[in-house]
Structure 1
Amino acid sequence: MKLSYQWLCEYVDVRDISPEALADKLTSAGLEVEAVTPRNQGVRGVVVGQVLTCEPHPNADRLKVCTVDAGVGEALTIVCGAPNVRAGQKVPTALPGATLPGGRSIGKVKLRGVESNGMLCSAQEIGLEVKLLPKEQTEGLFLLPDDAPVGADVVTLLHLDDVVLEIGLTPNRSDCLSMRGLAYEVGALYDRPVRFPSPAEPAASGASPVRVTLETERCPRYDAQVITGLTPKPSPLWMQMRLLAMGVRPINLMVDVTNYVMLEWGQPLHAFDFGQVRGGHIVVRQARPGERLVTLDGQERELKEDTIVIADPERAIGIAGVMGGENSEVSAATRQVVIESAAFDAASVRRTGQRLGLRSEAQQRFEKGIDPVAIRAALLRAAELLCELGGGRREGGVVSVVRGQPSQPHTVAFSPARCNRLLGTDISAETMRGVFRRLGFTVEESSPDLWRIEVPTRRPDITLEADLAEEVARLVGYEAIPSTLPFGATTAGVRTPSQRLRKRTREVLTGMGMTEVFTYALTHPGSLDALRVGPDAPYRQMISLRMPMSEERSVLRTHLLPSLAQVAQYNLARDVAGGRVFEIARVYLPARLPLDEQPSERTQWAGLWFGVTEADVWNRPRAYDFYDAKGVVEGWLGAFGWLDQAEFRPASAPWLHPGRSAEVWLDGERIGSFGELHPETAAAFELDVAVYAEFDLDLLVPRLSDRWLVTPLPRHPASRRDLAVVVGRDVPADALLAAAREAAREGGENLLEDIRVFDVYTGSGVPEGMKSVAIRLTCRAQDRTLTDDEVDALVGRVLAAWTARFAAVLRG
């Protein structure tokens, strides 16, 4: 919101306060002033000059020699190159010695042999906002009105001695979107009277020719006034300059008056050519299916049934609160207008503006809320100005149609003692009473500590006692609130077990070459289709948002794979060969739908290996496979000391390949799974081959230990034995390893340091239905070098266990 300092001074006398000091005061009170900009950018010595004669230059085709009366006693000869210069015009004239924006000095010069005693100026040369001016005022000289006094200082005439404050308003302060609201705010801050005149209600002058019908509940009030006998012409210079200072483009008197009153009162108005309102009947209704309207910007727009339209009995003539229609636009031929002042549903106006891609000053005010008191007052003020400046007259009185009860000032209970407790202050009741008086609030004291504050309708942001306490703080001054230090017992901050688990998981996974990603917790309801889960699966129970921004982000996710698959798709589409990514995030699993209790929010880490590995000196690129994921999972389990207790079993998840996947169990509890994606799942995600892993971290928090198991460096050598046994193809290699560990512990002293599979073979030399599994045993004692007999005894127990459980046969 822009604020003209000179315009403000008409309502509140702050001429003794500099614009900079006013800006500081407003900012300290919560209305942040983002810029203080003088309109005069360096203009001095420029006056109103009248062109008396205009003759061609004797030595230049594009120059004119003008004699100009600048009010200095004698006519000046000035050479001008502007294409629109004519005799009789009044234009800004820079006298010798004048300065223009940018430090440009004007003196006497000779142009093609003719002495020029000054300069005739364009709008840009005197620092006006060219982008807001009509085109004809930007192509050549800036033409002044015929009644501009010759010799008058242009700085004063064009209000260039004004200063504009640009205020960044918070959404709740809709009252400050007008000079009226800002005047009340400044008056309250400085405790000065506000002289804001209210227009008088005219005497009844017969029946109005316009009729208004409300057919929608989204328009609680609609006022209309017909003005006839208007003369199309530009608005007066003072009004144009005020509009420019406030960032509004002057157009013509009828439009400028509605914009001026909107800035003055904060109430948007619209002028319709009454001759184009068929039947003289205005109908406010919802748009009809398939209805279309060409708006004032020349664009044809399709209207939705959610849109409020202003119509006559035959067609729409405007989009309520957003933009008027071209079919009822005020033109040069307009002599009779009907002025609209109304209240429209804020949410509906906002939705319509967003859908149509339109944004206007009027729409902004309707969205944030208007003062119902200003609806009629602004209409009366606009009619007053049109009659005074445009030669019009009122035809009939104001037609006002109201749905429901008119808005009234509301009352808020207030306790001075509670206010002091909220603010941490000791402000007296008398001071608080003075604050409310300055704000224009009425105080009724039921008891010394229970007041009832009547808040005027222009302040819709005041609804709670805390709002009143904030007003007290703002006007007394935040600097009056004493500074206090927090007190109480201090404790050292530590991470919770869950935080430590997530942090360590992140460190381990990134240390193993994976990249952490962050994806949306919101997803599309169909994102699970690729996972091959049934319609009754728990994963399908997805929590919907009440008002989603888009269908793509309309439900809370129950699985992390679709999110990581999107990351893979994004990278592969941009020529990234492959990658290893992981995310630590939550999934949301409701007990039932619709929700009647908090859903289960499970923290998981999930990883995805996609594409091919990076090439290096020794290795060619290859597709990621099951063992890439297995290595990372084992490394992660080992970092927490869980690898020896982990049990790997075949996985049955429908999104994983049935023969290339595994589940991980700890002490009989499933903690996660990993494996190659099922071909159908991979194809649905447009991935050739990918490997996925997911683990439930919440299950592992109770297993987290603060103690570290440290093994001393070995002082004695290890003994290794490689064994190859033939077993049935359905015997898991992990079962052989578990049986070997159990057999090693049966000897009393556990000498088995490590055991791992290094080869699995099927083919020639191995019976049908059998496989050869080669396993390396590493044996070591901490206090001695093992003898062959000790190692052979351990190997014998292991072979005996394999033979007894799996009918294993040692290969020769």
Structure 2
Amino acid sequence: MRASYKWLADYLDLSDLTPAELADRLTGAGLAVDAVEPLNRGVQGVVIGKILSVRPHPQADRLKVCLVDLGGRQVEIVCGAPNASPGLVVPVALPGARLPGGVDIGIAEFRGVASHGMLCSAEELGLEPRYLPKREAEGLWELPADLPLGADAVSLLHLDDVVLDIDLTPNRSDCLSIRGLVHELSAILRRPHRFPARVAAPRAEGESPLRVRLETPRCPRYEAQLLEGIERRETPLWMKMRLVAMGVRSIDLVVDITNYVMLEWGQPLHAFDADAIAEATIVVRQAREGERLVTLDGQERILTPDMMVIADPEKSIGLAGVMGGENSEIGPATRRIALESARFDGASIRRTGQALALRSEAQQRFEKGVDPAAVSSALHRASELLVELAGSRLVGGPRRVPAEEGALKRTVVSFSPQACRQFLGVDVPEDEMLACFQWLGFEVARGEASWRVEVPTRRPDVQLPADLYEEVARLYGYDHIPATSMRLPVDAPESSERLALASAIRRALVDWGLFEVRTYALTSPEAEAPMELDGAPVALLRPMSDDRRTLRRHLLPSLAEVARYNLAHQVPGGAIFELAKVFLADAWPQPEMPVERDVIGMMWFGETEGSPFERPRLLDFYDAKGVCEALLARLGIEASYRAGDAKFLHPGRQAVIDAQGQAIGLVGEVHPDVARAYEVPRAVYAEFDLALLSALATGQVRVTPIPRHPASRRDLAVIVPRDVASQALVDAAWQAVGEQGTLRMVRVFDVYTGAGVPVDHKSLAIALWFQMDERTLTDAEIDHAVGAVLQAWQSAFGAVLRA
């Protein structure tokens, strides 16, 4: 928010405060001032002059020689501006003058003709062209004819103003106007202001011919004033320069007056060409599906029923609170205008602006909330200015719907001085608290322990006792609140087995070389499409972007995104994991909330970096399986593996991890088609259900001493049907001799099919380790155990010892 120092000084005595000092006071009270910018960017020695005559330059076609009256003396100045003409009053930089950017002006000669100064444009005096009408931005600055010739231009052109650039927080919509800032400064400086509480309606004869119908609850108040006899006059220089100081472009007199009053009162206004309103009837309604409107920027907009429009019985003529329509625009032929002042629902205005990619000063104020008490006063103030400056006449009084709004509802907040002191940590006197509220314009009814504070409608941000505490703190002065150490008791959070387990898993995985990542829980159906997941994605009601419009159902796409990013940035490979939620639903929408699962997802991608002891190699299934086994062992969970059928994993290189008769996870190489879709050439994925791990984890790890006696290994190669799982043979071996306590380990180390093996069969090579703690086993004891294992395999699977 830009604020003119001189405009504020019209309503408040600031004679003892420089703009920089005023900025410090505002910042100290919570309204941070980012910059203090003088409107005069270095103009010195510029005066007012009038062009008496213009003749062509004898040696240059594009230059003109102007005779300029400086109020008692005349000088010749060479100029190339296209609008230089006799009778024009312009700024003149005389020899010795200085312009913004360190430009010094002297007597110069242009092809034989001496120029005693320079005729200036507004841009050459430091004004930004975007804030000026196109005509003034491109040529000499055409000034009012009644300015005194030869007088210093800085004060006459209102360049002696200073702009405060205030960084408002979103809740302080009241300070988006001079009115709000004046009330704020009055409380900060503890001095009275002169801003009127209200503006009375101008005297007008008869009843307004305008009619207004409200057909939507999103517009609780609408007022309109009809004026006729609008003259096409130039905007007064003082008004134009105040708009420039506030960062608003000057357009024409009618629009400038509506903008000026908006900046002054904080209430947006809009002027329609009254003759373009059919049946002199204004209708405020929701747009119809597919309705079209060409707005003032020349763009055709396709509207939806969620958008509010200003219309007449035949057509829409404007987007309520956002932008007017081209079909009701004020133009050179306009002789009657309908001036609008209304209250619109802020959320509706914001949604309309976002949907149509429109942004305006009026929209910004409506969506943050305008003061309902300013609706009538802003309309009356603009009507007065149109009568005074545009020569217009009121046609009847203002048309108000509803006719009587009634007393405006003020927010009432209960306030405890003692609670405020405890909240702020400083002993603020009650009289000081009362003074803060009174200077803010809050009405206070004091009680013994609690006060009743009535907040004016211009402060919608004050709703709770904590808001009142904040008002006391900032007006009493943050520098008066000492820094203190925290004395509140801090209780340790309740322990959670689930959180402790998650923490232990994180530490373990990091110890084994995996990196933890955090990814978005929001994704899109397209991102999950390559996995062909069951169920339906849970859609967001109002997504922030198209690629984050559903809740994720699986961690693989998120981890693949991290892997793809790293591979694209020359990282050869790595291992990552994430503990996060996935959201599952059979269909969406559905009556119940989606199921939330806590999942540990792990991914190995690319290749190892290599070392002096190992060449770089692709990370594979066994890297993942080793981590999974180590994790389960650390948690005290005994698990087994069986073939899996997940569509997104390689059909021959995946396994389901079972424990106590239920699936607790899976591990496998990502299906090549899925890997290509995610642009990760090769990856291995594993996951566990955290809830199942939590239920099965014992945390009991059995430690045995190192055996004192050697173990004996026997390698057996047996032929079994191809559909027999190797794990089944391992389990059968344990059952056959496990009770004897001599079998210590069983490992499958080779699978073979081909020559020498019958069709539909396979050869499994399995190593058995036998050992005892007390003594060394004899060959007879080992042979007996091996025979028992072979007998068990033959009986259960028809295994035949391979020759």
Using the size of structure 2 for normalisation, the TM-score is 0.88
Where structure 2 has 5 or more consecutive residues not aligned to the other structure, the ranges are none
Separation in structure 2 between the aligned mates of residue 186 and residue 193 of structure 1, nearest angstrom: 9
**Structure 2 residue corresponding to 1:645, chosen from 638, 646, 652:** 638
* Equivalent in the alignment of 1:194: 193
Alpha-carbon displacement from aligned partner over 1:608-664 (angstroms, at most 9, x marks no partner): 578x87999999999x9xxx3343132232255359932112335566666653211
Aligned residue in 1 for 2:163:
164
Partners of 1:804 and 1:487 lie apart in 2 by 75
**Range moving further from structure 2, 594-603 or 630-639:** 594-603
1:760 equivalent to 2:751? Answer: yes
Give the equivalent residue in structure 2 for 1:487: 487
Secondary structure, counterpart of 1:63 in structure 2:
strand
Structure 1 position 810 matched with structure 2 position 788: no
Distance 1:486 1:572, change over 3 A: closer
Amino acid at match of 1:602: R
1:66-145 alignment to 2 at 5 Å?
A: 66-71=66-71, 73-145=72-144
Cα 1:809–1:326 change in 2 (3 A) is same
| Aligned partner letter, 1:559 | H
1:3 Cα offset (Å) = 0.7
Once the two structures are TM-superposed, the CA of residue 725 in structure 1 deviates from its matched residue by 1.6
Q: Does 1:498 align with 2:490?
A: no
Asked if 2 retains the 8 angstrom alpha-carbon contact of 1:501 and 1:697, the reply is: no
Residue in 2 aligned with 1:536? none
Aligned residue number for residue 776 of structure 1: 767
2:323 matched residue in structure 1: 323
Structure 1 partner of 2:145: 146
In the alignment, the residues of structure 1 paired with residue 581 and residue 189 of structure 2 have an alpha-carbon distance, to the nearest angstrom, of: 53
SS at match of 2:375: helix
CA distance in 2, matches of 1:334, 1:593: 55
Aligned-partner Cα distance in 1 for 2:686–2:141: 72
- Residue 560 of structure 1 aligns with which residue? 555
Cα separation, partners in 2 of 1:687 and 1:49, compared to 1, 3 Å: closer
Q: Counterpart in 2 of 1:183?
A: 182
Does the C-alpha gap of structure 1 residues 758 and 377 become closer, same or farther in structure 2, counting only changes over 3 Å?
A: same
What code does the residue aligned with 2:154 have?
V
The aligned residue for residue 521 of structure 2 is: 520
In 1, Cα distance between equivalents of 2:69 and 2:662: 100
Aligned residue runs from structure 1 range 595-674, under 5 A: 601-607=596-602, 628-639=620-631, 641=633, 645-651=638-644, 660-674=653-667
Query: How do 1:654-803 and structure 2 match up within 5 A?
Result: 660-675=653-668, 692-701=685-694, 720-741=713-734, 745-748=738-741, 752=744, 754-777=745-768, 795-796=786-787, 798-803=789-794
Please list every run of 5 or more consecutive structure 1 residues that lacks an aligned counterpart in the other structure.
534-538
**In 2, Cα distance between the equivalents of 1:168 and 1:36?**
12
Instruction: Choose 11-20 or 759-768, whichever is displaced more.
Output: 759-768
Q: Secondary structure at the match of 2:383?
A: helix
Q: Secondary structure at the match of 2:216?
A: coil
* Alignment CA distance shift 1:15-1:488 (3 Å): closer
Shift of 1:715: 9.0
State yes or no: 1:203 paired with 2:203: yes
Contact 1:420 1:426 in 2 (8 A): yes
Aligned partner of 1:105: which letter?
D
Per-residue deviation at 1:672? 0.5
Instruction: Kindly report the root-mean-square deviation, in angstroms, between the aligned alpha carbons of the 2 structures.
Output: 3.9
In structure 2, C-alpha distance between the alignment counterparts of 1:437 and 1:488, rounded to whole Å: 33
SS of equivalent to 2:12? coil
Displacement after TM superposition at 1:328 (Å):
1.1
Provide the C-alpha distance between the structure 1 equivalents of 2:81 and 2:500, rounded to a whole number of angstroms: 79
More moved, 468-477 vs 734-743? 734-743
Tell whether the 8 Å contact from 1:716 to 1:785 is kept in structure 2 after alignment. yes
Partner of 2:485, secondary structure, is coil
Larger deviation, residues 252-261 vs 477-486: 477-486
Task: Give 1:718 deviation, angstroms.
Answer: 6.6
Cα pair 2:294 2:301 within 8 Å, conserved: yes
How far residue 587 of structure 1 moved from its aligned partner, in angstroms, is 1.8
Partner residue in 2 for 1:227: 227
Percent identical: 53
How many pairs align?
A: 795
Question: What is the CA-CA distance between 1:508 and the residue it aligns to?
Answer: 5.6
Q: Deviations over 1:722-754 (max 9, x none)?
A: 32122233332123234445666544455x3x5
> Per-residue displacement from partner, 1:27-72 (whole Å, max 9, x unpaired)?
222212122211111111111112223233334333333332224x
Residue of structure 2 in register with 1:347 after alignment: 347
SS in 2 for 1:773: strand
Is contact 2:632–2:638 with CA below 8 Å preserved after alignment? no
Aligned in 2, Cα 1:216/1:48: closer, same or farther, shift over 3 Å? same
Return the offset for 1:146: 1.1
Asked if the contact 2:204/2:394 (under 8 Å) is kept, the reply is no
**2:264 aligned partner:** 264
Aligned to 1:435: 436
- Cα distance per residue 1:302-357 (max 9 Å; x no partner): 12122211112221111111111111111112222111111111111111111111
Shift of the 301–739 alpha-carbon distance from structure 1 to 2, 3 Å rule, reads same
CA 1:62 to 1:689, structure 2 compared with 1: closer, same or farther past 3 Å?
closer
Decide whether the 8 Å contact of 1:45 with 1:94 is kept in 2: yes
Amino acid corresponding to residue 732 of structure 1 in structure 2: A
Q: Which amino acid aligns with 2:432?
A: T
The structural deviation recorded for 1:410 is 2.8
- Aligned partners of 2:288, 2:90: CA distance in 1, in Å? 52
Structure 1 residue 432 displacement after superposition? 1.2
Q: Which residue of 2 aligns with 1:407?
A: 408
* Structure 2: distance between partners of 1:644 and 1:377: 76
Match of 2:458 in 1: 458
State how far apart, in whole Å, the 1-side matches of 2:477 and 2:100 are. Answer: 39
Q: Corresponding residue for 1:586?
A: 581
Q: Deviations over 1:238-289 (max 9, x none)?
A: 0000001111110111110000000000000011111222222211122223
Q: 1:552, CA displacement in angstroms? A: 5.7
Shift in Å, 1:142:
1.6
Q: Partner letter of residue 442 of structure 1? A: E
Paired AA for residue 365 in structure 1: R
Question: Is 1:94–1:106's contact at 8 Å kept on the other side of the alignment?
Answer: yes
Given the alignment of the two structures, is residue 42 of structure 1 paired with residue 42 of structure 2, yes or no?
A: yes
Letter aligned with residue 330 of structure 2: V
Q: Deviations over 1:388-438 (max 9, x none)?
A: 111112111111112876633232222222222222232222111111110
Closer/same/farther in 2, CA of residues 748 and 218 from structure 1, 3 Å limit = closer
In structure 1, the residue corresponding to 2:60 is in which secondary structure?
coil
Q: In the aligned structure 2, how far is the partner of 1:110 from the partner of 1:549? A: 62
TM-score (norm 1): 0.88
Deviates more, 1:715-724 or 1:469-478: 715-724
Aligned-partner Cα distance in 1 for 2:592–2:283: 47
Q: 1:608 to 1:507 in 2, by over 3 A?
A: closer
Q: Cα distance 1:718–1:15, how it changes in 2: closer, same or farther (>3 A)?
A: farther
- Superimposed CA distance per residue, residues 176-222 of structure 1 (whole angstroms, 9 cap, x where no aligned partner): 11100011001111111111134332234112122212222211111
Kindly indicate whether the alpha-carbon contact (under 8 Å) linking 1:54 and 1:65 is maintained by their aligned counterparts in 2: yes
Deviating more after overlay: 143-152 vs 315-324? 143-152
